[in-house]
Structures are given as structure tokens and as C-alpha cells.
Amino acid sequence: MSVADYDITIGLEIHVQLATKTKMFSPIETYFGADPNTLVGPVDLGLPGTLPVPNAQAIHYGIMLGLAFNCAIADRLVFHRKNYFYPDLPKGYQISQFDEPLCGPGNFGGVRIHRVHLEEDAAKLTHAGSSGRIHDSDASVVDFNRGGTSLAEIVTEPDIHSAEQASEWLRLLRTTVRQLGVSDVNMEEGSLRCDANISIAPKGSGVLGAKTELKNMNSFRFIERGIRAEVARQAAILDAGDTVEQETLHFDPRTEAITSMRSKEDAHDYRYFPEPDMVPVVVTSEMVDKAKAAMPELPHEREARFEALGVEPGAARQMSWQPELGDLFEEALAADPAHAKALAALITNELVARLEDGDLTQSKATPASLAQLVALTADGKVSTSGARTVLDTLVASGGDPAQIIEAEGLGAIGGGDELTPIIQAALDANPDVAEKLRGGDMKPIGVIIGAVMKETRGRADGKEVTKIARGLLGL
């Protein structure tokens, strides 16, 4: 069987570093790129006698995430100790949440959200061998700058069914989280990290296969490739008549190799229990109201609003998932609200294609000039192909569309008077085409349109040419 013969089921766990100034339970500032162990306080090191105190801003951000994902917000949250020994965890446990998370079931972008909870990040461990400076081959180096950073963990239900869907959904998630302002979601710096739980089963069998967990992927490309590689690996195992073992895996994006991270006998038994150093946090209605008041318009809401303006769904999605395109669209629309659909098409099809990586800073066209170009096209002052030439100029050097049309002689040829002789000439020059057209075969009309376009340097309108040609041929 091939991969296509299996149903794929994927659930995601996403860790987002919150944009709080200080850590989750410790009043120490945290940011990326500081010298090792310079952003460290007594709580972060788990020194005796220190007490963790939750950061109110982290809870505020957590509530905003819950609202964005349509989650139920708990009225009380309890932090738990998740016990395990690892050198990146000085206390021997991570403070996390267990059975009373901040946010309960929700739904976002067609995927059900299981929960959102708050916890502290682990420190950064550099293993011997990955750093040439360590002479003692037995030693690893711990940097506690990241240790204790406020994290939200978002857990989905297994509602994702392909690698593409996973990466597309994650893009929506990232845009939304960024729009909320609760995290910078910078994947290179590790402020958004993703684990994927993956299982496959023969198509239509309805049974869930054993799941494996692909850990710590930090780019959309790796996530897509990692999931694809793991699905292929599981399919090969099932094809061979074997069974997939439940385990935690690591995907190496360089070699595409998937390796097991922990042996089965080391299976974690975290012995969660309520953190005795912290009292429960009551989530008051004031806190929820404050989070509601801080909510910006979210991408899916913007998408719906754009569609209500008559914008094509694909363009509406593109402009809301890439907020800078949406902002440009709205500014242009403010200059002239008459042609929303055509304006959106111009931005998402024509403008973006002229920019490297869709980077708007490369364009010199003002929003108002784009709106004006769309209006001129709609009024028949310039043909669609002429408009493309105008856009080339606008992107390269800015300016006023009407003046560019004038200066470059791109004005559409209006009415039949000017076009008719040109079309007649094209028909005369292509008698075999004219013959076919007369016989009712309209396919070769492109030849005539092409000849007219060449003659008029793209200023004619194809539909108009067809109409006049039919008239000339007595059709």
C-alpha cells in the first residue's frame, strides 16, 4: 500500500513564549540573545527559601489566547509540579498545569482545541561535542537565561489530517498569536515550537493506530517535512505487517532521519501534584473583561469582513493571514471604496507577483494609486494588460496612474472607430483564421486578438476586439 491508502491523524502541541517582560514565576527580565546566565535570579535557580509568584501579565495573555481560540476560561487555576530530573530543570520539577488548566475546550480554524495552559520554560543545555570550548567531554553547560520564561502550551484535538493542513493551520495560529501581541512567535529564536502526535490507519478502517510524538520542530518547513517523513515511516512499518511502537521521535531536518529519543523503560511518570508554594489563582470577571477589551481583530474575523466586501475567498484569506497585505488593501479602499474585489485581486495576484517574497517594502506604489488604477481599469480608461504595465511603473518608481497612462501612451482604445480598421487588417492578414471564424469555430480568435494587441501595444480590450470581429464577419 502507499501513503495514500492510509488515514492520517495528527494532533499538535504548540509552545509559545509569552511576550511578558519578566519570567513566569520570577521577577527577572528575559529576552533572547543575552550573555549566558546574566538573566538569572534566585527563583530561576531553585535556591532554597525562594518562592515562585505568578506573573499577572502572563495570565492576561493566556486569557487572550483562550478567547482567540473560543475556549472556555477557567474561573480558577492551579499550578502543579511536573517531576523529572534533567539538568535544564534546577528544582527537579517544572511548574506547569495539570487538571485545572487556564483554558478548556475551544475551536480555532476548524481544529478543536483541547486546552491551553501556562508553565515555565526549561533552561538551555549545550551538550559537550556541540561546543568546541568544552574540554571535559562528560560535561554539558547550562544557561538559565531561558529557564523560567513564561510559556503557553496549546494542545489541539487530533483533527488534522495532512502535513499541509498542519503547516497551514500553524501559519494561521502564528499570525493570530502575533496579532494578539502575546508573543513575537519568532521560530528561529524558539518562541514558537511544535510537537506533532501522528498516527495512521488503513483508509476507512476507523481505528486509530499507535501514535508517535515528533518533538520540537521550529519551522513550518521542518514540520511539514517531518510529518511527511513520519507518515511514510509508519506506512512502511504497517505495509511490512509490523506494528508501530508508541514512542517519542526526533526529526533531523538535514538528513530527514527520524530517531527515537527515549527508550520505553524510561517512559515518563511525572507524578504531578499541586504546587504547595503557590495558592490557587482566581480568574475574576474583571481579568476576563480586561482581556476581552485588549482583543484586536483576528485574522479569521478580518477574512470574513473582507469576504463580506465581495473579495474572493482566496484573496480574503491571503490578505488576512498576511496582515501587511490586508493593511495595504484597507488603506487603498479608504481612498476609493468602489472596487473591493478588483482591488484585492490586483494586490494578491499582480502586486505580490512583482515583489520578492511578497515584501511590500520593495514597492513604491501608494495605496491610493492602486485604488486609482483599479478605478481607471473599471472605467475602461486602460485595458487589463495596459494596467499591468502601469503597475510595473508604479512598483518601480511610484507616481500617478493617470499620468503614467498619458505619458506612456497606454490609454485604452475606446469605441469601435479606432479599433475597427485594425481588426479588419488583422482579419485580412489571416484569411485562414477568418475562414474558420466565419464557419463558427471561435477558437482561433486568439490570433486576431494577439495581432490587435501587438498593433495597439496592449491598449485594446480582448472582449471588445472579439465583439467587433464578430460584427465584421457578420456573425
Q: From the CB of 189, what's the least distance to another protein, in Å?
A: 19
φ/ψ of residue 184, rounded to 5:
-85, -5
Burial class (CB in 10 A: 0-12, 13-18, 19+), 462: middle
All three cell numbers of 105, joined, read 475546550
Joined grid coordinates for residue 381: 480608461
Shortest Å distance, C-beta 231 to another protein: 28
Of 124 and 341, the one with the shorter C-beta distance to another protein is: 124
Q: Between residues 89 and 344, which has the closer beta carbon with respect to another protein? A: 89
Beta carbon of residue 147, minimum distance to another protein (angstroms, whole number): 10
DSSP three-state, residue 432: helix
Nearer to another protein, 12 or 59 (CB): 59
Longest dimension (CA), the chain: 98
Looking at the Cβ atoms of 145 and 199, the one nearer to another protein is 145
| Residue 138 or 188 having the CB closest to another protein | 138
Positions in the binding site for another protein (CB under 8 A) = 20-22, 27-29, 35-42, 45, 47, 53-59, 76, 78, 83, 85-87, 125-128, 136-144, 269, 271, 274, 276, 278-282, 284
The three cell numbers locating residue 462: 480582448
Burial of 262 (0-12, 13-18, 19+ CB in 10 A): middle
Distances (CA, A) of 420 to 409, 414, 424: 19, 11, 6
User: Taking Cα atoms as reference points, which of 288, 285, 235, 227 lies closest to residue 258?
Assistant: 227
**Across the strands, what pairs with 80?**
96, 274
Nearer to another protein, 251 or 306 (CB): 251
Cα torsion 86, 87, 93, 99: sign: negative
| All cell numbers assigned to 59 | 495570565
State the burial class of residue 420 (Cβ atoms within 10 Å of its Cβ: 0-12, 13-18, 19+).
middle
Interaxial angle between packed helices 163-180 and 220-239, expressed in degrees from 0 to 180 and rounded to the nearest 10: 150
CA 361 to chain centre: 20
Contacts of 270 (CB under 8 A, 6+ apart): 82, 83, 84
Residue 284 or 349 with smaller CB distance to another protein: 284
Q: How far is the CB of 180 from another protein (least distance, A)?
A: 16
Element at 60 (helix H, strand E): helix 56-68
Least distance CB 263 / another protein (angstroms): 13
Least distance (Å) between residue 144 CB and another protein: 7
Residue 39 contacts residue 28 (beta carbons within 8 Å): yes
What minimum distance in Å lies between the beta carbon of 273 and another protein?
A: 9
| Dist. CA 126–CA 87, nearest whole Å | 10
Query: At a CB cut-off of 8 Å and minimum separation 6, what does 401 contact?
Result: 369, 372, 373, 376, 382, 390, 394
Least distance (Å) between residue 218 CB and another protein? 20
Q: Nearest distance from residue 73's CB to another protein, in Å?
A: 15
Distance in Å, CB of 56 to another protein, minimum: 4
Q: How far is the CB of 391 from another protein (least distance, A)?
A: 46
CA distance 260 to 266: 12
For residue 346, the SS3 value is helix
Q: Which is nearer to another protein, 139 or 396 (CB)?
A: 139
Nearer to another protein, 81 or 302 (CB): 81
C-alpha–C-alpha distance, residues 466 and 463, integer Å? 5
Nearer to another protein, 38 or 70 (CB): 38
> 36 vs 380, which CB is nearer to another protein?
36
